[in-house]
Every structure is written in structure tokens, then in C-alpha cells.
Structure 1
Amino acid sequence: MVEFRRCGQDGLLAEFRELSEVDAARALLTAAAERGALPELAELLPGARTLLAVVQPGSRGLDTIRELLSEADLTDPPARDSRELTLAVRYDGPDLELVARTAGVSTSEVVALHADSLYTVAFCGFAPGFGYLSGLHPLLQQPRLESPRTSVPAGAVGVAGEFSAIYPGSSPGGWRLIGSCAAPLFDPRREPPALLSPGDRVRFEVVR
């Protein structure tokens, strides 16, 4: 069941029970806009359990969005052509052994479990270009560090809770770091600046 909250005159926040429902709702509204059924849609901002839809000022798009999401079967999202990216990762992170010990497997098994998964960019946040990747193997779904690092280098690959992610720039952070990636996740001179967008599929290629 979807719950709705108005956000100003032109925004509607939909709240869901599961991350998969957020992804399905985002795909549904994106498809509706692409086929011309929701021309008023201006922006979609997914979160872990929410989806903020913003429409053009003065339109009746919020009514259409509420109707579409209320009637949709979000367990059966519409088929879509998702962009797929393959990013090279060197599994040399300082928390690789901690993650292996917590999971009860070897470090090589951590690498295999992480690299063999297909991820979806569920949403972006925390920092420009920071994509929360769903699809992490259950054994690697572990808590954040008890004491966050004051500085995590750009390109660090981490796991926390149900997500994996790559730090686009140097920042504080508490994710468990298992590797590093040289791909530029955010470049303000690029269009769009962020490499990852919600709905993208991501695979990791092991660099020896």
C-alpha cells in the first residue's frame, strides 16, 4: 500500500514498504512520461523507501501520479531498457578481512560474491555522484563501522546494510571498504556530471 504526502504546491512524496516498490514506481512513472501519459512530470527523486515526484507548476500531474501509483501492481514493474555499466574494481580495501570474518567466508569468496552480483542504482545521495547499489549478496550485508573514518579516499568501494557504493570523492564515511575503483563517478564538466543514475545496472570487473 502506498501512502502519499504533499510537498508544497507541485510535489508529492510516495512512501513504500520495500525498496523494490520504489524502483517499480520510479520505472512506472518514467515509462508514463516517456510515452506522453505524464507530460507534466519534471523530476523524480527516489530514496530507500520513498519517491518524490515534482510536476510543472500549475499542472494536474500530481493527480495522475497518485492515480497511477494507487492502481499499479508494484510487484510486477514494467519492462524497461536499463543502461548497464561495468566498472573495474581492485579488491584491496582495508576492511576486506573484516567483511570476510563477519560473513564467515574467505576474502576470495567476498570478492567473488561482490563481483558476481548484478546491481541496480536504487537512488543517489549523501554526496554528488554517490549511488546506492541494491543487489548486494546477503552475506555481505553488514553494519557500518562502529567509528566512521574521518577521510575515505575517492573511488573506495564499500558495503553497508543492504547496499554497496563507490565514494565519488574524498569524504568522511563509515562504510566497510573492500576495494577501489578508478572510474570518475562525478565530473562537473561532464553532462550529466554523475556517472550513475537511478535505474542503471552495474557490474564489477575484478582487477588483479
Structure 2
Amino acid sequence: IHSKPLYRVYMLGFLPGFAYLGGMDDRIATPRLEKPRLKVPAGSVGIAGKQTGWYAIESPGGWRLIGRTPLKTFDPHKKPPSIIKAGDYVKFVPISEEEFQEIYKDEWGEER
């Protein structure tokens, strides 16, 4: 269900590169966690209410995690530092663990 829609980037915020995306199917809407996690890995994809989003950097967070992107979506040394901006559209595509590892190594220069 999550990978079917095309999501619109509403904004980046709360932390550098954190993407708030609209257009999620109401059937998978779910509230934030009552107690946020202390550590969420960079690239984690989550749901909070009727929005989905991803954590561009490792941080605390209270969204319900449903997956992870291997892409390095934020790099403060690049111009622009984020691979997306408000108003862009994002499509999530399921990939195999093997594909994830290959992309992750290319993006981050290390094994997950």
C-alpha cells in the first residue's frame, strides 16, 4: 500500500533533510509512538498520522518505522545538501535486500 502513491514533499524540517510527505493512503495512517525512540537510523521511512517521511540523518524520533532507503538523502557538504526540496514528488520502490546493500555501499561507502 505504501509504495503505490506518488508523494508530494510538503516540507523539510525538524532536523536537516527530514522529509514530510503527503499523499499517503488513509488505510495505513497510524499515530506517532507514545515514547519516541532515542536512535533512528538515517534513511528510515516512517508513518505519523496521515503523513509519511524519512529520517535523513540518525536522530531520535517518534514515527512508526516501516522501512529504510539506502539513499544518502542529506549531505551538508553538497550543494544543495538535500536530494529533494518542498514541492518535489517522491515514489517509494520496494527493492531486495541485495539491491539495498549494493546501493547503500555505493551511497555511504560502507556496509550496513
Say whether the fold is shared (TM-score over 0.5). Answer: yes
Residue 128 in 1 paired to residue 16 in 2?
yes
Distance in 2, Cα, partners of 1:157 & 1:168: 9
What's the counterpart of residue 188 of structure 1?
A: 76
- Aligned partner letter, 2:15: A
Residue 204 of structure 1 deviates from its aligned partner by 0.7
Distance in 1, Cα, partners of 2:84 & 2:16: 10
Residue 123 of structure 1 deviates from its aligned partner by 1.0
Match of 1:169 among 29, 33, 57: 57
Identity %: 47
Q: Secondary structure at the match of 1:115?
A: coil
Distance in 2, Cα, partners of 1:167 & 1:188: 14
Distance in 2, Cα, partners of 1:144 & 1:196: 24
Distance in 2, Cα, partners of 1:138 & 1:178: 15
What's the counterpart of residue 9 of structure 1?
A: none
Bigger-Rg structure (1/2): 1
Q: Secondary structure at the match of 1:199?
A: coil
What's the counterpart of residue 51 of structure 1?
A: none
Structure 1: 4+ residue segments shifted above 2 A: none
1:66-86 alpha-carbon deviations (Å, 9 max, x no partner): xxxxxxxxxxxxxxxxxxxxx
Residue 141 of structure 1 deviates from its aligned partner by 1.3
Distance in 2, Cα, partners of 1:144 & 1:130: 16
Q: Secondary structure at the match of 1:204?
A: coil
Q: What is the TM-score of this pair, normalised by structure 2?
A: 0.82
- Aligned partner letter, 1:202: V
Distance in 2, Cα, partners of 1:138 & 1:165: 15
Q: Secondary structure at the match of 1:139?
A: helix
Q: What is the TM-score of this pair, normalised by structure 1?
A: 0.45
More helix by share: 1
What's the counterpart of residue 59 of structure 1?
A: none
Distance in 1, Cα, partners of 2:50 & 2:83: 21
Distance in 2, Cα, partners of 1:170 & 1:189: 17
Distance in 2, Cα, partners of 1:126 & 1:118: 22
